[in-house]
Amino acid sequence: MSAPIISLESLTNTTSSGQLLTTAKSGGCASSSCGSSSSSTDTDPATWEKIKDHPCFSEEAHHYFARMHVAVAPACNIQCNYCNHKYDCANESRPGVVSEKLTPDQALRKVIAVANEVPQLSVLGIAGPGDACYDWNKTRATFERVASKVPDIKLCISTNGLALPEHVDELAEMNISHVTITINMVDPAIGEKIYPWIFYGHRRYTGMDAAKILHERQMLGLEMLSERGILTKINSVMIPGVNDEHLIEVNKWVKERGAFLHNVMPLISDPAHGTHFGLTGQRGPNALELKALQDRLEGGAKLMRHCRQCRADAVGLLGTDRGQEFTLDQIPLEVTYNGGKRHAYREVVARIRDDHLAAKNQAITTLGSLSARGTLQVAVATKGGGRINEHFGHAKEFQIYEASQAGIKFVGHRKVEPYCHGGWGEDANLVGIIAALEGIDIVLCARIGDCPKNKLMEAGIRATEAFGYDYIETAISALYATEYGDDLSQATA
């Protein structure tokens, strides 16, 4: 039986009565029938239950589920050389201004409004714009309010770790299930190049003393969380020439202390942001340098490669930001929680997830049975749902996959300015897109015009809409088989 193709729109759109539309398009999906386990194949069932709807802790979940941040914690107890406190916390966000800082009561209103309207919402995170553990009273008050009014949302926190140990027990009592610590070094000599000062125990420390205290508190906090069974993710900012090689050591340390994930993010450095690194010309890594380091870290702590370095007030699927739809002036003073859309959406996702997993497994089987050798770098335009369902001209980012006989691996994303503006192609943006797609063999998208397709081809990058609305892995395995001259039907027979 051929499985139906369900676009993200059909997953997420609702009728005026609040019913989810699940109308399926018929088409060329090669996925087989359902029936396999809904658990991830490489995660134990208890852990999978914790991560299966967290878009940051599970790459698979980020195709379906969304997070929101509330900017309730502006105060910070350290200075990072990549941060200007006028901007978002670079631990969890790109350096753009937070639209509005919120009180805990305002944050609750916003969470209810978003939960009522965004069916994909599964996680509330507090990621600054300062430090959520240092600005603890506001963080705790926000979590308490949300837990009492929207009990079916996961709670998540991000911190620099300095004030973490004193709050670990409260985090556990409040059922905060996921914690991120930004750890950029385990050697204070490197730390002093990243942190000019910290504020700890009513005192300001600088240089090696500051870095040593920060390091010890980060390790202690991580160990305490692991002892309590709270899932931890370590964020590290990759700063070329400062800590890039050193992150291999960081990866070992955090793995030994029970970290679930390690997320290596590129330094964002721009003089316009007014940061020390921006003003002194410290560059960030390019996409290939980041990938090369991530590849070297394979085999250590499990890697996250799908981080979007979101704002401290981001709303929506990773890679999109619907925050401007939910500013306080658009939210009624009295708003009552109604989880109808989210619950209906979850039922739909549960149904199609097995189908997606079966398609992935089939794709992996296909690749494994080929005699071909070689690697294919594929850029995918997607709006979510695990499908190739975005037009080339509308894409704000491309998800990058690496296919080889060993399987299909998500290896990152590349942000771009969309080619299409008001129905017209923007040549200047196409130049930027081609540069961003350096090293890519082929682009998969739902639609593409002849002009951008030809320009890409001139740059040595092929593009096709032939797999539009297919599952990503299904398309890539068919493509790989074609590329390397194997007959797909024979290979999978």
Which residues would be at the binding site for ligand SF4 (CB under 6 A)?
Answer: 76, 78-80, 83, 89-91, 128, 130-131, 160
CB of 415 to ligand CLF, least distance (A): 13
Rule CB under 6 A: choose which of 69, 217, 356, 387 binds ligand CLF.
69
Q: Which two tokens stand for residue 386?
A: 């695990």
CB of 31 to ligand CLF, least distance (A): 27
**Helix crossing, 340-368 with 472-483: angle to 10°?**
20
Closest residue by beta carbon to ligand SF4: 83
Any idea which residue has 């963080």 for tokens? 139
> Which of the stretches 21-29, 138-146, 303-311, 436-444 binds ligand CLF when contact is defined by CB under 6 A?
303-311
Rule CB under 6 A: choose which of 20, 98, 115, 127 binds ligand CLF.
127
CB of 175 to ligand CLF, least distance (A): 14
> Which of the stretches 6-14, 289-297, 306-314, 404-412 binds ligand CLF when contact is defined by CB under 6 A?
306-314
CB of 302 to ligand SF4, least distance (A): 24
Question: Would you count residue 110 as binding ligand CLF (CB under 6 A)?
Answer: no
CB of 311 to ligand SF4, least distance (A): 13
What's the rounded Cα separation, in Å, for the pair 212 and 217?
Answer: 9
Q: Checking DSSP bridges between strand 178-182 and strand 231-238, what pairing results, if any?
A: parallel
Of 79 and 492, nearer to ligand SF4 (C-beta) is 79
Of 285 and 468, nearer to ligand CLF (C-beta) is 285
What's the rounded Cα separation, in Å, for the pair 121 and 84?
Answer: 30
- In the range 434-493, which residues lie near ligand CLF by CB under 6 A? none
CB of 377 to ligand CLF, least distance (A): 22
Question: Would you count residue 150 as binding ligand CLF (CB under 6 A)?
Answer: no
Rule CB under 6 A: choose which of 308, 342, 346, 413 binds ligand CLF.
308
Confirm if 171 and 157 have CB atoms less than 8 A apart.
Answer: yes
What's the rounded Cα separation, in Å, for the pair 357 and 474?
Answer: 11
CB of 314 to ligand CLF, least distance (A): 7
Among ligand SF4, ligand CLF, none, what does residue 79 contact (CB within 5–8 Å per kind)? ligand SF4
In order, the DSSP letters of 328-397 are: GGGS-SS-----HHHHHHHHHHHHHHHHHHHHHHHHHHHHHT------EEEEE---STTB--S-GGG-SE
**Single-letter residue type at 196:** P
What's the rounded Cα separation, in Å, for the pair 251 and 236?
Answer: 9
Q: Which two tokens stand for residue 238?
A: 């990759």
Q: Checking DSSP bridges between strand 420-421 and strand 424-425, what pairing results, if any?
A: antiparallel
> Which of the stretches 10-18, 123-131, 335-343, 390-398 binds ligand CLF when contact is defined by CB under 6 A?
123-131
**Helix crossing, 104-117 with 136-149: angle to 10°?**
40
CB of 92 to ligand CLF, least distance (A): 4
CB of 409 to ligand SF4, least distance (A): 30
Helix (H) or strand (E) holding 210, with range, is helix 207-227
Instruction: Tell me how long the chain is.
Output: 493
Render the burial of 468-481: b for 16+ CB within 10 Å, e for the rest. bbbbbbbbbbbbbb
Confirm if 2 and 34 have CB atoms less than 8 A apart.
Answer: no
CB of 211 to ligand SF4, least distance (A): 13
- In the range 216-275, which residues lie near ligand CLF by CB under 6 A? 233, 263
> Which of the stretches 308-316, 340-348, 352-360, 479-487 binds ligand CLF when contact is defined by CB under 6 A?
308-316
Q: Which two tokens stand for residue 211?
A: 């870095």
Among ligand CLF, ligand SF4, none, what does residue 318 contact (CB within 5–8 Å per kind)? ligand CLF
Closest residue by beta carbon to ligand CLF: 125
Q: Which residues, in sequence order, are bridge partners of residue 203? A: 200
Q: Checking DSSP bridges between strand 303-304 and strand 315-317, what pairing results, if any?
A: unpaired
CB of 127 to ligand CLF, least distance (A): 4
Rule CB under 6 A: choose which of 81, 158, 160, 177 binds ligand CLF.
158
Of 89 and 157, nearer to ligand SF4 (C-beta) is 89
Question: Would you count residue 67 as binding ligand CLF (CB under 6 A)?
Answer: yes
Among ligand CLF, ligand SF4, none, what does residue 389 contact (CB within 5–8 Å per kind)? none
Rule CB under 6 A: choose which of 8, 11, 20, 56 binds ligand CLF.
56
Contacts of 58 (CB under 8 A, 6+ apart): 40, 51, 52
Among ligand CLF, ligand SF4, none, what does residue 155 contact (CB within 5–8 Å per kind)? none
What's the rounded Cα separation, in Å, for the pair 103 and 135?
Answer: 12
Q: Cα dihedral angle (453, 459, 462, 465), rounded to 10 degrees? A: -20
Helix (H) or strand (E) holding 463, with range, is strand 462-464
Interface residues with ligand CLF (CB under 6 A) are: 56, 67, 69, 92, 123, 125, 127, 156, 158, 178, 180, 233, 263, 307-310, 318
